Amino acid sequence: MTTAQPLDVQPTPLALLLLGREADPKSERGVECPGDLPSPSDPDLVERARAAKEKLGDKVFVLGHHYQRDEVIQFADVTGDSFKLARDAAAKPEAEYIVFCGVHFMAESADILTTDDQKVVLPDLAAGCSMADMATAEQVAECWDVLTEAGVAEQVVPVSYMNSSADIKAFTGKHGGTICTSSNAKRALDWAFEQGEKVLFLPDQHLGRNTAVRDMGMSLDDCVLYNPHKPNGGLTVEELRNAKMILWRGHCSVHGRFSLDSVNDVRERIPGVNVLVHPECKHEVVAAADYVGSTEYIINTLDAAPAGSKWAIGTELNLVRRVANAHPDKEIVFLDKTVCFCSTMNRIDLPHLVWTLESLAEGNLVNQIQVDKETESFAKLALERMLALP
Ligand code: SF4
């Protein structure tokens, strides 16, 4: 493996602080841990996590998102993307505690899909998602008012990315829409355009635009960008009436870092390299890439790639590093010049996991994520529409 980029680097508290410093103060990030965390330098952390997990036995089921640190992933019973993990949790009704090593919206989705007896726990309540935080319930309700006043709301079907809060999923369910993942976004849009004439795509503008233009043959002019921080979303009534895709102005702070320069630069440095990126990347990056797909698609593509092939990957660094280590016979590099972890996901570290498991083993339920019943029922409706997509 050639490590043209520093794949062996570990996330540091300083790097995470800097990456996360534009946090929305209204979000759940910044919440202090309610208990005494073990020191990160405690040499017994691995043993303590193992002992607590063993004591809990079948009562606990640990989920590890693909972007999670290795020190945490080693204790995961299953790994995957957010939707797969929520479904894995639902398929394990005997587990009383679901410890979700991921971010807040993922734990909410797991709570929505699991039984009332199961308790979903997020080891660090400060692990939010900057993209999910970019669409609040109040902002989306205001947007719907703007669409209503423009006389287009009745033609609009909301489609929300899995990476959204339970409130946004509930809004989507209430207004006849569906949830999508990065794997089924095209199917969700096909379905939505059978139900209505326009789509309000939340909260990731890039996934919405890339799917509409790249997979569905729309033009960039068919898309408008709704900015929740501007009056009327910064759009005229005419723009709203002419648009097919109304894209929410949200993005992933990790995937949004990749640029056309990163693609051009890696092609120059590594002749014959295949550029493989996630659809949360900007449109110009996706347009310049050779392959585009979800996290699972990226893993499967690299698993199937021939020995000796060269790859530059545009997604979160923990995942790229793990896949590169699993394929020493292929040249796998990170697409960006700078280190790019998901800062909030990386807040879940071994001390938080140890604290969580030991608390549960002592009978103390900590950091439970609970979605209220009304929100849950509408959010579930939207999720069920996704599961029923053809
Ligand atoms: S990688 Fe991006 S979308 Fe995923 S959890 Fe982190 S900030 Fe959110």
Domain of residue 281 covers 255-334
- Indicate whether 182 and 121 sit together in one domain: no
Residue nearest to atom 2 of ligand 1 (CA): 252
In a domain, 381, yes or no: no
Structural domain contains residue 384: no
Same domain, 107 and 30: yes
What is the CA(298)–ligand 1 centre distance, in A? 16
Write the CATH number for 220. 3.40.50.10800
Distance 254 CA to ligand 1 centre (A): 6
- H helical segments located in 196-347: 205-210, 237-242, 260-269, 283-288, 295-304, 317-326
Q: Is residue 6 part of a domain?
A: no
One domain for residues 120 and 28: yes
pTM of the model: 0.90
Report if residue 141 sits inside a domain.
yes
Instruction: Please name the residue whose Cα sits nearest to atom 6 of ligand 1.
Output: 342
Radius of gyration of the chain (CA): 21
Same domain, 98 and 201: no
Expressed in angstroms and rounded, the spacing between residue 130 Cα and the centre of ligand 1 is 7
**246 and 158 assigned to the same domain:** yes
| Residue 11, domain member (yes or no) | no
Dihedral sign, CA of 338, 339, 341, 347?
negative
Nearest-CA residue for ligand 1 atom 8 is: 129
Residue 8 lies in a domain: no
**Number of domain units in the chain:** 3
Per-residue burial over 189-205, b = 16 or more CB atoms within 10 Å of its CB, e = otherwise: bebbbeebebbbbbbbb
Together in a domain, 25 and 123? yes
> Same domain, yes or no, for 79 and 161?
no
In this structure, the answer to whether residues 244 and 278 fall within a common structural domain is no
Query: Which protein residues are within 6 Å of ligand 1, measured from CB?
Result: 67, 103, 129-131, 163, 252-254, 316, 342, 344-345
Ligand 1 atom at shortest distance from the alpha carbon of 163 = 3
Is the same domain home to 266 and 365?
A: no
Beta partners for 311?
A: 274, 332
Annotate 206-244 with three-state secondary structure.
HHHHHHHHHHCCCCHHHEEEECCCCHHHHCCHHHHHHCC
- Taking the chain, what is the end-to-end CA distance rounded to the nearest angstrom? 40
Give yes or no: residues 153 and 265 share one domain.
no
Q: Do residues 280 and 300 share a domain? A: yes
| pLDDT tens, residue order, the chain (390 aa) | 333 444 655 554 434 333 333 334 444 444 556 668 899 999 999 999 999 999 999 999 999 999 999 999 999 999 999 888 988 998 999 999 999 999 999 999 999 999 999 999 999 999 999 999 999 999 999 999 999 999 999 999 999 999 999 999 999 999 999 999 999 999 999 999 999 999 999 999 999 999 999 999 999 999 999 999 999 999 999 999 999 999 999 999 999 999 999 999 999 999 999 999 999 999 999 999 999 999 999 999 999 999 999 999 999 999 999 999 999 999 999 998 887 788 889 899 999 999 999 999 999 999 999 999 999 999 999 999 999 998
Q: Which two tokens stand for residue 71?
A: 């020190």
Residue 339 lies in a domain: no
From 67, 180, 248, 341, mutation site for ligand 1 pocket: most ligand atoms within 8 A of C-beta: 67
Residues 226 and 276 in one domain: no
Q: Give the number of the atom of ligand 1 that is nearest the alpha carbon of residue 252.
A: 2
Q: How do the residues of the chain divide into helix, strand and coil, expressed in percent and rounded to 5?
A: 45, 15, 40
